[in-house]
Structure 1
Amino acid sequence: MIGDGTVPGAVLLLAAAPVGRGRLVDAASALPALAAVRPEVLTGTAAAGVVELVDPADPQVVLVRLRSAAAAPGPLLVLLIGQLTLDRRQQLPHLALARTTAATARYTALPWHWLSAELQFRPPGTTTVLADLTADQAAWERLPPLSALAVAGAELYGAVSPPPGRRAPAEPLYSRAVAGLLRSATGRPSPAELHDLAVARAGLAAEARLLTPLTTGPADAYPGLPVLPSGTAPPPPSPGRPAPPAPAVAGSPHPAAPPASAPGTGGPAAPAPARSPVPPARPAPATPPASRPPAPAVSTASASAAPEDPHPAILAAAREGRHGEAAAMAAAWEQHALRHHGPDSAEAVHWLEVRADLARLAGDFGRSCELWLSAASARLGAGEPEDGRDLVAAVDRAHHCWEQLGDGDTARRLVSRLATLRHRVPGPRPGAVEALERRIETLGAVGAN
């Protein structure tokens, strides 16, 4: 982690595993050794605060603590000790909590992608995640490429061990090795050095998979949610023609939906002046349900007030696991941008990119890659230079998501489009094209078997 030592650091220590027969690792047994390490040694700062969560039962409680830790201004170390599982519906990785079972993982475990959602906006180089994970049998058999566990905004190190072959829970060997090294170190090693030393000391199972940051191509630093480019806000209402009020659901705490066509004008309504329009809570039905009366319109005076930025509401829905609602909000605003600005506009491309990133947060890397490829093609079609920042970022993100797909049919279906764009837009990072070509050769070898 990078820090000048003057800003206090923060440590979030989470040790969790299901209670009862489902417990595969004695996560809490590493806590005494870690507690003996001075907090400032953990973060490399003159002072540090430590928050411990031991066998929490509610993922929302963990989310609150994670969000608070992510807001810390100084270096942040997140230590995760526990059990890796997959939810049955989407097969997404989760960190099992006290009440987690195989059937309830989606609701009682911590979704792994929440880490990226909370940490991706932290300053580069200030965040390290150390993970000591034991996979349950189903997760071990279906373990995704370890790059799929990458945490946006953080350097991830650690190990994923197979389920223990005996009745007794496994021991968190990696965490204990980390604690021993930090207690005896004369100077704080870098996260990479600490990881290498811990792996050498821990005596992990031969099958254990090691977690290290990716160093080739675009996957080492996935940018966060796209930001609406400056200067692309919708135009203010024409003089003498006030913007019609946006519909709002009575009693709803959510922002209003995008403005529809103005009645009696025969054309689309010009939204109120703003950097970007306010998002809907969910797509507004063309005809309100019979059980709900038509929503009252807000007054013209309130419509003329500066509306909220839509991105926080959309991202909040994604962070809370309401991925369908978040995607629907972004899609509604994309349609609004298409109607008001056209398919080649910066606004339309922006909302396409937001949808791409929301798909990634939901764990749908195939859909995310496809949307990022479409966004990159749109930027090229609009005449953006091949070394332009936004175009390079779009191709990098598409490449990153494609890397998470493993050797499946979706990866093969998208590889031709990605290769065309990657060779045309190699980006400034060395090794991106070479990394793609190596994966293509692997796909060919797998397909031939």
Structure 2
Amino acid sequence: MVINGGDTAEPGTALLIAAAPVGKGRLMDASSALPALAAVPPSALTGTPAATVIELADPLDPQTVLTRIRAAAAAEGPLSVYIAGQLQLDRKQRLLHLALARTTPTTMRYTALPWHWLASETAIRRPGTTTVVVDLVADADAWQHLTAAGLTLGHGIRLFGRIMPAPARRVAASPDYLKACAAIWRSGARPDLATLHEQAAVRAGGETALLLTDGAPSRAGAPEAAQAPSHPLASAAEDPHPAILAAAQAGRHGEAASAAAVWEQKEVRTHGPGSVQAIHWLEVRADLARLAQDPGLSCELWMAAAEARLTRQQAADDADVEAAVDRAHHQWEQIRDLPRARSLAPALVTLRRSVPGRQRGALQVLQRRLESLHAGPVA
């Protein structure tokens, strides 16, 4: 829905996400936050007179959530994202995920939303125009990870909220922090975000909670907030590539992807969309997705890079064009998520017809594998 307050100021967008697994895996009654937030004037959610509010309640598919995040991030005005749910850690890749309705510990990599997807999509926005407010519960592995490394997004993104450890008993926690924010707004008060955060954290309680104040983590009740990490990768004056690669190799994939996206956006502003400089960072993001073992995203980004080079009138047999398509093809073959592989296949087939590459029969191999996808699970 679109709410217009009659002002000519740039409208804002609020994306409300409430997500948690169904059944015994649910650690938070996330969807109970939505009625409270829906009762708040939309202008309070965005801080703008005109607002678009989008709700996602217990989504099933990470691609659906990614599409909504991507669409919201493309909006020109201020963006506020409110998330209630639970974080889980993929034990193989050590990556944080937001659990969705069908998420289980064994299917997490295919049914949950990787946190670095959110970081990557919001990192391309102008610094200072994006705010993320979270009310989360973390399972045991995720909690241990968070207390050591914190929860991060890209440079220039404001992050507030509360993260609780999983309750000792199998009783779903309540998103009391977001409910407290909603109650404050419904009272007619419009405090700044830092003040709102402090008031909501006090009302919500939780002595063991990890509080996020503009990205800096602190324990509930601690006299001072812990300092935010130093060496924002996205603002390094020297060559940023070594630091970004080091972050990825250390398992900080979300941080690395966010920094690369920021550098890409800087090049877009300086040299224009489709410039060689912007395409370079698009390819860096594609390779970072490979390092994060996210072949679907890597394939998508390599295809985008190939298409951007073709749009620049680079020839189909240009080495950079062929390399981008070959890498997209290779990453596509690594995808184990059947719907994801099918969704990317048509665009890849179209690219392969335009850019056959130097490996004989690559298009035929692709088409045979696509046929096998319709016959059963990915081999």
2:200 aligned with 1:198: yes
Specify the code of the residue in structure 1 equivalent to 2:42: P
- Displacement of 1:141 in angstroms is 3.5
Distance 1:101 1:41, change over 3 A: same
* 2:27–2:167 Cα contact (<8 Å) kept: yes
- The 1-side partners of 2:134 and 2:16 are apart by 10
- The 1-side partners of 2:234 and 2:174 are apart by 32
Number of residues of Structure 1 aligned to a counterpart in Structure 2: 255
Instruction: Tell me the TM-score normalized by structure 2.
Output: 0.60
- The 2-side partners of 1:8 and 1:224 are apart by 28
Distance 1:229 1:318, change over 3 A: closer
The equivalences for 1:414-429 within 5 A come to none
- The 2-side partners of 1:324 and 1:96 are apart by 18
- Displacement of 1:166 in angstroms is 2.0
2:116 aligned with 1:113: yes
Task: Pick one of 184, 190, 193 that aligns with 1:181.
Answer: 184
- Displacement of 1:312 in angstroms is 3.8
* 1:157–1:195 Cα contact (<8 Å) kept: yes
Task: Pick one of 61, 71, 76 that aligns with 1:68.
Answer: 71
- The 1-side partners of 2:25 and 2:118 are apart by 24
Indicate the residue corresponding to 1:95 in structure 2. 98
* 1:57–1:97 Cα contact (<8 Å) kept: yes
Q: Over residues 30-55 of structure 1, what are the superposed CA-to-partner deviations in whole Å (9 max), with x where a residue is unaligned?
A: 11111110111111111101100001
Distance 1:275 1:7, change over 3 A: closer
- The 2-side partners of 1:149 and 1:142 are apart by 12
* 2:177–2:201 Cα contact (<8 Å) kept: yes
The equivalences for 1:255-266 within 5 A come to none
Distance 1:181 1:151, change over 3 A: farther
- Displacement of 1:315 in angstroms is 3.6
2:56 aligned with 1:53: yes
2:324 aligned with 1:322: no
Distance 1:325 1:119, change over 3 A: closer
- The 1-side partners of 2:158 and 2:233 are apart by 9
- Displacement of 1:88 in angstroms is 2.2
Specify the code of the residue in structure 2 equivalent to 1:78: V
Distance 1:150 1:310, change over 3 A: closer
* Greater helix fraction, Structure 1 or Structure 2: 2
* 1:82–1:95 Cα contact (<8 Å) kept: yes
SS, match of residue 74 in structure 1: coil
- Displacement of 1:67 in angstroms is 0.3
Indicate the residue corresponding to 1:211 in structure 2. 212
Q: Over residues 208-228 of structure 1, what are the superposed CA-to-partner deviations in whole Å (9 max), with x where a residue is unaligned?
A: 111122457444976543359
Indicate the residue corresponding to 2:14 in structure 1. 11
- The 1-side partners of 2:12 and 2:106 are apart by 38
- The 1-side partners of 2:195 and 2:113 are apart by 28
Specify the code of the residue in structure 2 equivalent to 1:209: L
Indicate the residue corresponding to 1:39 in structure 2. 42
Q: Over residues 351-400 of structure 1, what are the superposed CA-to-partner deviations in whole Å (9 max), with x where a residue is unaligned?
A: xxxxxxxxxxxxxxxxxxxxxxxxxxxxxxxxxxxxxxxxxxxxxxxxxx
- The 2-side partners of 1:81 and 1:309 are apart by 35
Distance 1:86 1:216, change over 3 A: closer
RMSD: 3.4
Q: Over residues 44-94 of structure 1, what are the superposed CA-to-partner deviations in whole Å (9 max), with x where a residue is unaligned?
A: 111101100001011000000000110111111100000110112111111
Identity of aligned residues (%): 49
* 1:58–1:108 Cα contact (<8 Å) kept: yes
SS, match of residue 156 in structure 1: strand
The equivalences for 1:4-403 within 5 A come to 6-143=9-146, 145-186=148-189, 188-204=190-206, 206-212=207-213, 213-214=215-216, 217-219=230-232, 223-225=259-261, 226-227=263-264, 275-276=275-276, 309-312=279-282, 315=285, 321-322=294-295, 325=298
* Greater strand fraction, Structure 1 or Structure 2: 2
Q: Over residues 157-204 of structure 1, what are the superposed CA-to-partner deviations in whole Å (9 max), with x where a residue is unaligned?
A: 111101112232111111111111111133x22211111111011122
Specify the code of the residue in structure 1 equivalent to 2:26: R
Q: Over residues 232-282 of structure 1, what are the superposed CA-to-partner deviations in whole Å (9 max), with x where a residue is unaligned?
A: x9xxxxxxxxxxxxxxxxxxxxxxxxxxxxxxxxxxxxxxxx9539xxxxx
* 1:79–1:130 Cα contact (<8 Å) kept: yes
- Displacement of 1:316 in angstroms is 6.0
- The 2-side partners of 1:5 and 1:197 are apart by 31
Q: Which has the larger radius of gyration?
A: 1
Unaligned 5+ runs, structure 1: 234-273, 278-307, 334-449
Instruction: Tell me the TM-score normalized by structure 1.
Output: 0.51
Q: Over residues 87-113 of structure 1, what are the superposed CA-to-partner deviations in whole Å (9 max), with x where a residue is unaligned?
A: 121111110000001111111111011
Specify the code of the residue in structure 2 equivalent to 1:66: I
- The 2-side partners of 1:318 and 1:59 are apart by 19
Q: Over residues 119-143 of structure 1, what are the superposed CA-to-partner deviations in whole Å (9 max), with x where a residue is unaligned?
A: 1121121111001000112322343
- The 1-side partners of 2:158 and 2:267 are apart by 28
